[in-house]
Each structure stands twice: as C-alpha cells, then as structure tokens.
A and B are shown apart, each in its own frame.
Chain A
C-alpha cells in the first residue's frame, strides 16, 4: 500500500477542460461532492458519530471521501468494524493497514465475544452464518460508545428495500427501521435530530451504483484488498454459486470442490459471499466485466439475500444495516 493517500483527483483542473465544459462537473465529481456534503452534515449535526468500515470496496471509498471532507483535520469519528470472525483474512489485513496508513482510530468488536457473553445461539447448517448475530454486536457497540450516528456504505442500487431508505435513516433504540415512518428528505437538507437512545444510520453513497464505485476507484487510483482481483482459490460449487472452502463451511460427501480462477465482487462473510469466475486482474478488466454482466451484484454474490423476497427488508427492520 502506498504511504501517501492520494487526496487529489487525477482529473479536472478546470483549465484542462475545453472552454465549453469549463465549470461543469462530471457525474463522479457530482457524486463525490454530494457525499462530502453528507459527511460534513454528520460532523456538524452529531456528537458521537462512527464510520462502519469492513475493508470492502464501498467502505474503502467511504473513507476516501471522508479524507476529502476533513483533511488536513482528523476524522470527527472513529472507524468501527463489527468482525463476525468469518471475514476474509485479506480484507482484515487491509483494514488494519489502511487505518494505520491514514492514522485514524479503528475500533473492532467481535461477534464471537457477544455470542459467548450473551449466550447467543449460532446458526447451524452447511453455511452457518453470523450475519444475523452481527446486529447484536453492532447494537452493543453503539451502546458502548454512545454512537448517535453510524455512517455506512450501503447503496440504493443494491437492493429494492435499500432503494427506499433515506440518506439519514432514523433507527429506534433497537436499531429498527420502520419504512412507513421515514422522514421526508427534501432538497439537500438533512434532519438528524433524534432523542436519546436513538441513532441515525447515514448512507453518503446512496446514489452511487456499483459501476460508479469502480469508476471512482479507477480514477482515484484507490487500492483494494487483493481478493477483488483474479486469483486461484479452492471453491465449492453450490447451486450455481462458488463458495470458498474454509473452516466455517461444512463439506459433505458429493460436494464438488475444485480450484478455480475467481475474484470477489463483494466482500462479506466467507459463509455468505460467493466468488465469480474471472481472469480480471486489474481495474480496467473488472469494469469491462461489470459492464458486460447480466447478474446484479447481490444476486451473483450474496447467499443471504436469496432466502426470501423481503430478506433485506426484514433484516433492516431488525436493526441490520
């Protein structure tokens, strides 16, 4: 990882552009400016915000936007990771190194500790996931640090329940989202007023799509964990999806396991994130593949959304991001 984080856009000193386009922002500049504005609203409106950082591409982009919003000052919030214990090692290494490089505080809380302390029951089965238990640790962490705003990297193009969530999304003391009681969000005016015990989830990249994220990563030469690029990995083929073999997945007789050239399109838990077969070893190739793909990001890679038509809506109502 490079020592210095590249704060400066590779693009657009205004003189470079022809006269006609002078003073016109392209779509990535517009999205960036909107996200920075949202970050600064969080800083201005809340006393104890936090940025949820997983080491995945969306949260990495979030941190880069925060650098643009607050440097040369420090972030007015720590980075927080709720570690399920089922994460990819590459993402965890990246997370630690990145936090160190930018010199910001990283708080990690482990789902395993919550399971032990609160006697929670783990899921059983082939792909036993801690996705649902994660919410317990998140809510405990919010309580521990009295966070009043949690910034997350969810995007509205990911999923149709997310398409309806506000940029400032108020959650009650159980972290629950009530889609029918959302505050109207007008112009670029964000109402972050809450009562004690409530908190707000803030989504600065709500209006970005998967492709926007990748184009921004390319333009700003943002570094990513290696698992986003093509590599050899032992995978289990299960109902058309490729799941990395690991200690967290129970193999059974008859399982089809092989080594394939894969990359990850999203990075979540090893138990619920599928890989895609790919030879794309650089950003340009990845962008070409994404433009050509016929399957949505979550549809291709998330085992957890397949459970029911309203899986995400239900999880959000229960306090999930």
Chain B
C-alpha cells in the first residue's frame, strides 16, 4: 500500500466539495457522528438535502459564507492506497491556495461542468497544474446528468481540453464522465455512460503509477541537522541527518558537498539506528563520511558524477503570495529545502495572465495571486535543479524578513 496525494480544482459550483464528499462517503470514510453534524446543519438550508460540501469547510467563516478560504486536507484509505486530498478553493483570488495545495500533489482532478465546457477557470487550473508540474491529470467532466449523459457533449469537451493540454505541455491526462451528486462513475463504474470504456474515478486514483514519479537518478541530500552525541563511547560519532529527496546513495559512493565542492566517501548509512547498504528517495537517513570535512545545515550532499546547478542568478517563475506588492529591487530571504540565503528580486520580466497565458511585459509590480517571471540574485550561490526536471530541488519560497511571512513560491527555471 502506498500514498497518493491529489488536489481537486474547481469551485463549489462545479461540484468539487460534492465530489470530495462523495469519495469520502462512498469509501466509508465519513463517520456517523460527522454525518449527523452536517445533517443538522443542512436542515438550516432551504433545500433540506444533506450538503456533503459541509464536510470540507472547516472554519466558521467558511460555513457561514459558504466558501472555502484555505487549503484543507482530507484522508481516506482503500485496500490499495492511502489518499491525501488537498482541497483548495478554485476562485481567482485564491491562486495562492491552489499553488500551495498543488505543490505536494501527485495528481490533479480538474472538474469541468459539462454544461459550460472548458471555461476560463478550467484554463487557470490547468495552467497552475502545468506550472507546478503535477505529474498526472484527471479531467472529470461533471454534471453529465444535466446534459442527458450525452456522449457528444463529452467528446466535444475532450477535444477542447486536449488543445489546452497540448499548449501547456500537460502529460498523462485521463478523461472521465461523472455525476458527483448521483455518485455516477465515482466509486463504481456507472451504467449511465455505456459509451465510456474507461474505469471509475476511484479505480483511476487507485491505479495511477506514482512510484515511477520518484527520481532515482539525480541523488540529492540536503543536510538538515548534524548528530554529534559527544559522549564518551560515541566521541567521534558525526552523522549528517536529512532526507534523500531524490536518487540513491550507497556505502562507498564518492560524494561532493555543495556549494563548497568538498569531496569524501560515504562510510556508513543509518536508518532509524540500523546500518544499511543503501538509501533511496524519500527515506530519512543519517550519512557518515570518511573524512572530517566542514558540512552544516543547508549544504547538499550529491554524487561527484551528477552535480546540481550552483548559481547565484536565477530565472524564476514566481507565484506572489504577499499582501504587499512585489517591486523590483525588493529584498527577501530565499529558502530552498533547508538552505536560507538573502535574495533580491532584480527584475520583473513579465506577468503571466493565468486565464489566457498572455505575457504582460515589464509590469511595475506584482500583486497577491499574480504569477510573474523574475530574475533573482542570491547573496551566495545555491545548489538547485530546474523545477521542470527535479521538482524536489527546484522549488523555493521567498520570506519577508520583516514580517517573517512566506510571500512567494519560486519555480526555478
């Protein structure tokens, strides 16, 4: 059994919360007391139906206003997989939340209202999926019951969406007709779509091959913490604690520390106190080296035959998340994995219209939820890989040093 992390993109109007409620309900992940609680609340509503959307709206303001403010995480398990759903609101003003939820997702479900077809919102969600490099896309064409389960409607949306996907370079796309409210094609394959030869949504989620998304080639190990017990019997013990974010490390491998370039050889690898011959992504381990070289938190241990880029001038696609606008010349802290450096945004090259993909050159500033292409200069060179190639070592955050708030998500090009 493994884990699939996915994000659902869409608004309440597309039936997003109903879909999540349906997955949780039909996979028996909703308990009686939780159901009773939402039944009680649903009674206050005019239609009197159980509103599955209430399951995902966690905060009082959300329930009162019938909106989703923040990313909520939901969990369910089937015999084959554990699922972690990032439930992010789909409205324009919440690009920030969608980017946040998408950053850890293996898969995105893009909901399309069968009556409306590919909309501006569909495009926006697809652009974010492409920017964040989400490996798998499921296009769920919902409310099929409202278009008489028409194959023609479905086919036309597939044709329209394929054009969007091609222009964005999205990979591994699966299309599925559903009716979330009726539960059609959610857990079981529905008889409502005899012309559909694919599987149910849950079947797709259970079978998408996520293990292949792990990169076992480019070995990267950011050091988080140095373990030095300094006791009598462990006087010389010095272990570098961290997570193998990609690749494989073996005892005897020649390694190189970035950005210093110092070299050594792996003398031992420990996992939970036990010696092992090799470690692979995404294991948390302790590495021991033959030589006593200078390594501290934020350094990245790599192999000498496969180096990351080490630069202090970065081309970055940036999702701006700060309430105060970004202007060229502003200084921030840039954090990539465990490394934090001072950074300055030298230039805003263009702003990306997330509805049309058009570029507005040289804007004065970027506002909350804008996606911009910028040039960033860091105080010292940082080891990184391009986000497109290696997501785990190409994503960074910007922090406002005066407020400590995370204000930007960087996808390094």
The interface size bin for chain A is 35 or more
Give the CA-CA distance A310 to B395 in the complex, in Å: 35
Asked if A36 lies at the interface with its beta carbon under 8 angstroms from chain B, I say yes
Residues of A within 8 A of B297 (CB): 44
Label chain B's interface by main secondary structure: mixed
Q: Establish whether residues B397 and A186, one from each chain, have CB atoms under 8 Å apart when the complex forms.
A: yes
Give the CA-CA distance A198 to B411 in the complex, in Å: 30
Q: Establish whether residues B224 and A43, one from each chain, have CB atoms under 8 Å apart when the complex forms.
A: yes
Residues 77-89 of chain B, each 1 if its beta carbon lies under 8 Å from chain A, else 0? 1000110100000
Q: Establish whether residues B227 and A73, one from each chain, have CB atoms under 8 Å apart when the complex forms.
A: yes
Among A50-58, A122-130, A242-250, A288-296, the stretch that binds chain B is A288-296
Q: Establish whether residues B2 and A206, one from each chain, have CB atoms under 8 Å apart when the complex forms.
A: no
The residues in B between 225 and 263 inclusive whose CB is less than 8 angstroms from any CB of A are: 225, 227-229, 234, 237, 239, 241-243, 245, 248
Q: Establish whether residues B32 and A295, one from each chain, have CB atoms under 8 Å apart when the complex forms.
A: yes
How many residue pairs, one in A and one in B, have C-beta atoms under 8 Å apart? 188
Residues 67-104 of chain A, each 1 if its beta carbon lies under 8 Å from chain B, else 0? 11111111010000000000000000000000000000
Query: Nearest Cβ distance between residue A77 and chain B, in whole angstroms?
Result: 12
Can you identify 20 A-B contacts, CB atoms within 8 angstroms?
A9-B271, A9-B272, A14-B278, A30-B3, A33-B283, A40-B241, A70-B227, A73-B239, A74-B229, A160-B57, A163-B74, A164-B72, A184-B397, A188-B245, A189-B335, A193-B333, A193-B399, A193-B401, A295-B33, A299-B31
Which among A32, A184, A299 is the interface contact of B406 at CB below 8 angstroms?
Answer: A184
The 3 A-B pairs at the shortest CB distance, nearest first, are namely: A299-B33, A160-B58, A7-B273
Residues of B within 8 A of A (CB): 1-3, 31-34, 37, 41, 55-61, 63, 69-75, 77, 81-82, 84, 96-97, 99-100, 103-104, 211, 216, 224-225, 227-229, 234, 237, 239, 241-243, 245, 248, 271-274, 276, 278, 280, 282-284, 297, 321, 333, 335-338, 391-392, 395-397, 399, 401, 404-406, 409
Q: A27-B82, A300-B33 are in contact. List 5 more A-B contacts (CB 8 A).
A: A25-B2, A44-B224, A188-B243, A212-B82, A299-B33
Which among B227, B237, B273, B283 is the interface contact of A25 at CB below 8 angstroms?
Answer: B283
Residues of A within 8 A of B409 (CB): 184, 186
Query: Nearest Cβ distance between residue B394 and chain A, in whole angstroms?
Result: 9
Closest A residue, CB atoms, query B394: A187
Asked if A219 lies at the interface with its beta carbon under 8 angstroms from chain B, I say no
Q: Establish whether residues B69 and A293, one from each chain, have CB atoms under 8 Å apart when the complex forms.
A: no
Query: Nearest Cβ distance between residue B43 and chain A, in whole angstroms?
Result: 13
Q: Establish whether residues B406 and A26, one from each chain, have CB atoms under 8 Å apart when the complex forms.
A: no
Give the CA-CA distance A68 to B273 in the complex, in Å: 7
Give the CA-CA distance A187 to B57 in the complex, in Å: 23
Give the CA-CA distance A294 to B36 in the complex, in Å: 12
Given contacts A73-B227, A164-B72, contact A23 B280 (CB under 8 A): yes
Q: Establish whether residues B34 and A296, one from each chain, have CB atoms under 8 Å apart when the complex forms.
A: yes
Asked if A156 lies at the interface with its beta carbon under 8 angstroms from chain B, I say yes
Q: Establish whether residues B2 and A179, one from each chain, have CB atoms under 8 Å apart when the complex forms.
A: no
Q: Establish whether residues A40 and B224, one from each chain, have CB atoms under 8 Å apart when the complex forms.
A: yes
Q: Establish whether residues A184 and B282, one from each chain, have CB atoms under 8 Å apart when the complex forms.
A: no
Closest A residue, CB atoms, query B400: A193
Q: Establish whether residues A184 and B100, one from each chain, have CB atoms under 8 Å apart when the complex forms.
A: yes
Residues of A within 8 A of B74 (CB): 157, 163
Which among B41, B70, B216, B271 is the interface contact of A164 at CB below 8 angstroms?
Answer: B70
Asked if A105 lies at the interface with its beta carbon under 8 angstroms from chain B, I say no
Q: Establish whether residues A187 and B392, one from each chain, have CB atoms under 8 Å apart when the complex forms.
A: yes
Residues of B within 8 A of A170 (CB): 404
Residues of A within 8 A of B31 (CB): 293-296, 299
Q: Establish whether residues B59 and A23, one from each chain, have CB atoms under 8 Å apart when the complex forms.
A: no
Residues of A within 8 A of B237 (CB): 72-73
